[in-house]
Each structure stands twice: as structure tokens, then as C-alpha cells.
Amino acid sequence: MLDGGDMIVSLTHLPEIDPAEGIRIKRAFVGDKEAILDFVKAHFRPNWVYEVEHSLLQEVSKCFIATKDGKVLGFACYDASAKGFFGPIGVEPEMRGQNIGGALLTRTLRAMSEYGYGYAIIGWVSDAEMFYRKTVGAEFIKGGNPENSVYSNLVFMD
């Protein structure tokens, strides 16, 4: 069995979280695709590049970014792995501890709520469990391990 599993969070009562001074959270613009994907490639898992690209290319971008001084500091997406799924999310390691992740998480979950979702599935969580529990009250889904989730379709899961 693989580590982690899917979590669920209600989108009804989300906290307000602002990032540190000077950091802006905004919906990603497809014209910034290269800068955003280069950021993801440089700091995170290679397969996340495809999920982020997918969220950027939807009719209305389903990717949010954190920026400062014209530089991408973090990202968060939804409906990338599957409808109703939050993630992936990532913040530049040197910029952690400035509420960027929390601000990206809550802004993206708010967008999901505005889009009509009542709940969000946070896919394949392992190390970030306490971040999601503490920030938005997420809980693991019983039986939501990767082998029983949308991730069971991945090639290496055969």
C-alpha cells in the first residue's frame, strides 16, 4: 500500500488567510504558462507540471499563483487530476512560513465553492496532512488510499 490518501474538506466556512506583505494571490493567466511551468519544474514533482498545465488551459484558468516583484512564488490548482479535486499546490521552499500556502489554498477552495462545489477532495495527501487539517479542517476519506482513488489509473499502479 502507498503512503497517504485523499482528504475531504467542506467549502462552506473557509478562513480568511492573507499572505505576507507585498505578496499577491491571483488567478493565473495562460500567457504566463511558461513562467509558471518552469517554476513547477524547478521546485516540485515532474508529473505536477502536466496537472498545472491542464488547469491553466481550461476555459477559465483553474490555477492560482502567488507572485512578488514579477516572480512566481507558489501555485495551487483544482480540477487538474479529476473534477472536484484540489491540487497540486506548492510554494518555493525559501518562501514558506509567510502564509502563502494557506492563502493559495483558501483562495483556490473559494473558487471551487463559487464554481458550485460543496466539498473538495484533496488528492493523495501524505506529508501535508497537518497543514490541511489545521488550515481548513480536512479529514481523510475512509478507503481513500491511492489504489482506490483516481490515481489508480496511473501507469505505475498497474
Q: Distance between CA atoms of 86 and 89, rounded to whole angstroms?
A: 8
Is residue 56 pLDDT above 60, yes or no? yes
Is residue 82 pLDDT above 60, yes or no? yes
* pLDDT tens digit sequence for 41-50: 999 999 999 9
Count: domains in the chain: 1
Across-strand partners of 25?
66
Domain that holds residue 37: 5-157
**Domain CATH for 91:** 3.40.630.30
Round the average pLDDT of the chain to a whole number and report it.
95
Is residue 65 pLDDT above 90, yes or no? yes
Q: What is the model's pTM? A: 0.94
Q: How many CA atoms lie within 13 A of 100 on its CB side?
A: 24
Is residue 1 pLDDT above 70, yes or no? no
Query: Can you list the alpha helix ranges (DSSP code H) found in the chain?
Result: 33-43, 48-56, 100-115, 129-136
- What are φ and ψ of residue 146, in 5° steps? -55, -35
- pLDDT score recorded for residue 99: 97
**How many Cβ atoms are within 10 Å of 61's Cβ, its own excluded?**
20
